[in-house]
Structure 1
């Protein structure tokens, strides 16, 4: 009986010695998987925060460009009403106003895209 207990004890030690690394590697894999998921969520959160910051910057830029276009328009109308502009100057001013309008439209599109991205990712998150 005494020998049987010793054999069982030694057998359990050997079994534990072989099984412990397998258990720890399994636990390590599980923690690695959680870490990957956590990293993925963290990256998504950072991306969302960056998009919100970019949205605020784009809105500020849009306001600046609108003010700039408004000033250009007023200056053009003032000079045009006084008859001080040559046909060449009028075409340059018109082109400049058109370019400014395109800039504004581009920023508005960027804002729409950012708002859509934020809406979609806030739903998912």
Structure 2
């Protein structure tokens, strides 16, 4: 069952705060990565390269946790649990969008350059549970 995010959680995700994505390694142990995020409605989008550990983990087991907190007030946070689907980031549009949200207009140019041959993918996190004090605000 998917759930809707409240306005406080949406504001956290819409601001350029780093988030921590936790996935499940093949041996069952946790794996965490600091990531940049954006939203598409109540889904959270993350851009990464195909073949990275987080992408391989969610392709095998889509269950994840994502924690984001306000850099100015670290006590304001949300943990979003849910499942991830993986799709190719055609034209690297999501990678560019996220880079510009975090670094400013025009900063996504290097993320849009496919000269390195790497395939970018989008991890789409659909929330099933949201915890943390941002859920109470």
> Which TM-score tier does this pair reach, normalised by the shorter chain?
under 0.3
Q: TM-score, normalised by structure 2?
A: 0.20
More contact order relative to length (CA 8 Å, sep ≥ 6):
1
- Structure (1 or 2) with the greater strand fraction: 2
- Quick check: which has more Rg, 1 or 2? 1
Greater helix share, structure number: 1
What TM-score, normalized to structure 1?
0.21
